[in-house]
Amino acid sequence: MSFPRALTTQITLLAAAILLLNACAVAPVQEMSDARQAIRSAEAVGAVRRSPDALTTAQRLLQEAQAQLEAGAYDDARRHALDAREEAIRAREQAVQSATIWPAGP
């Protein structure tokens, strides 16, 4: 028994659409993990003291990402998690820069 070509095409298109929709609905687990790790890294180099504003912003963005994740708004959660990561990286860089002691000249 053979399927008509039109039916095979429709089934293939339907399967592709389901796969595409499923890919869009994936929770941003990796992005959340990356943001958390970036915040921990910033904290480890003293961002709490040396760049508190950037660190606080990163933490707030991560909290918002978590809230969006729990609400099922995965695209918003992903965006907030990526922003949290970037802000945490900025906090870390600021903390490292302010902690750097330049050696005295000869």
| Domain assignments of the chain as residue spans, ordered by start | 27-96
User: What are the distances in angstroms from CA 37 to CA 8, 27, 34, 62, 89?
Assistant: 46, 17, 5, 11, 10
Q: Mean pLDDT across the chain, nearest whole number?
A: 86
pLDDT at 66: 97
Q: How confident is the model at residue 24 (pLDDT cuts 50, 70, 90)?
A: low
Contacts 24+ apart (CB under 8 A), 11-14: none
Q: What is the pLDDT of residues 72-104, one digit of tens each?
A: 999 999 999 999 999 999 999 999 999 885 433
pTM above 0.85, yes or no: no
Q: What is the pLDDT of residues 53-69, one digit of tens each?
A: 999 999 999 999 999 99
pLDDT at 84: 98
